[in-house]
Structure 1
C-alpha cells in the first residue's frame, strides 16, 4: 500500500483516530510520519494520553449513554465539585467525591485499572496498621474456606493466628 500523503513510498505507519465516535484511518510512510505534527511525541510535550484525558474520554462516553435520561447537577457536599467539573478536569476534589460520584467513577476506574482495590506500596511507618488489617481480613477468609472444606485442624491454627493479631492491635 502506498503512502496516502506523498503517494511514493510504502506505507508503514497506520494511524487510527477516534474523535467523538468517528473513526478516521491514515496510512503513511515513515518520512511523512516523522514530518507529521499528529505524531510528535517529544519529551518536551505533555503526553496526550494522560490519566485525566482518559477519564474525560470515559466521562464523555458514559454521558452519551445517559443523555436521554434527565439528570440534575450533582455536587460534592464537602468540596462543592460538580460532575461537570469532574468531567472537564478529570480530577476529583476530595475523598467524599468518590462516594458522591461513585456511580460514574467506579466503572471508569475498573475499566482503566482492572480492579478497585489498591495493591501498591504502603508507607512503612504509617502503613503497618493497614497491612495488619489486610492480613487479618485475609486470614478470616482463609478460616471460612477451611471451615467450609472441613479442615478443622487448619482452621484452629488460623483462628489462633487471628487471635494473636487481634491482641497485638489492642
Structure 2
C-alpha cells in the first residue's frame, strides 16, 4: 500500500482518527509521518548512544551544579591521577581511591541511585533472618551513637530499647 500523502513510498504507519463519530484512516510512509506529526515516531532517536556511565555522570553533574560548581573540576585522584572532569565524561572511576577523592561530588548521587552508601547484597535464605537482624542491630547502634553525639537523648533512649529488643530476639 502506498503513502496517502506522497504516493511514492510504501506506507508503514496507519493512523485512525475518530472525530465526532467520523472515522478517518490515513496510511503514511515513515518520512511523511515524521513530517506531519508533532510527536516523532521514535522519541529516543536523537538522544545518541545510551550508557549507564553517561547516566551516572549526568546525575553527578545535576546534583553538583547547585552545590559545588567549578571547584570539583580541578580535583585529581592522588592515587591514579584521574581528574574529576575525566570521570564526568566517562562515568567510570580510575581506582578505589577515586571514591575518597571525589566523595563530596559522588556520594549524594550514589545515595540517591542506590538508596544507601553501603552495598547490602543478597542474604542466604537459610541463615537470612539472623543476618538481617545483625544488620539491623549494627545500623541501630550507629544511629544510637549519632543520637548521643547530637545530644538527642530521647531518641537515643528509644534506640537503646530497640537494640535490646533485637538482641533478645537474636538470643544475645
TM-score in terms of structure 1 length = 0.49
| Bigger Rg, structure 1 or 2 | 2
TM-score in terms of structure 2 length = 0.48
